[in-house]
Amino acid sequence: MTFLRYTLRAGATVFGLSAVALILAPGFFLELLGLDTSAPLVWSMVMIGVTLIALTGNMAVVSFTASDRGVQAASVVMMLAAGGLGVTTLLIPVPFTWFSVVYALVGFGFSTAYVVGLTRASLAR
């Protein structure tokens, strides 16, 4: 279960850094993804950043205080969310950029880490 707890903490760190970037430099983040920097998109990125702060906090709190069952439940949710983030990033309706590929790979990497951790936890029972 320790592996899943550390995966949640690492994911919280990555989401926390993303939240800061989205709030402080949403236009730069959009440019890295190859998207327009229109006012509505910039505003949307800031809103996503604020939402990521809540997710970051929840992931950290679960990793430190939840029961093993709670950690597993949160890890299933995050496995799906991280994989979905990877897929969604690749489906952005613009040509790939180096950043969109790396960002998608980070999502797939975390999804894979959750699969490994959940499998290990299941086999340990």
Digit-coded pLDDT (tens) for 49-98: 999 999 999 999 999 999 999 999 999 999 999 999 999 999 999 999 99
Burial of 48 (0-12, 13-18, 19+ CB in 10 A): middle
**Does residue 124 carry a pLDDT above 90?**
no
Backbone angles phi, psi at 44, to 5 degrees: -60, -40
CA distance 69 to 66: 8
| Band of pLDDT at residue 125, cut at 50, 70 and 90 | confident
Domain of 27, in residue numbers: 2-124
Give the total number of structural domains in the chain.
Answer: 1
Q: Give how far Cα 34 sits from Cα of 17, 31, 112, 121, Å.
A: 20, 5, 26, 39
User: Are the C-beta atoms of 49 and 20 separated by less than 8 Å?
Assistant: yes
Does the predicted model carry a pTM greater than 0.75?
yes
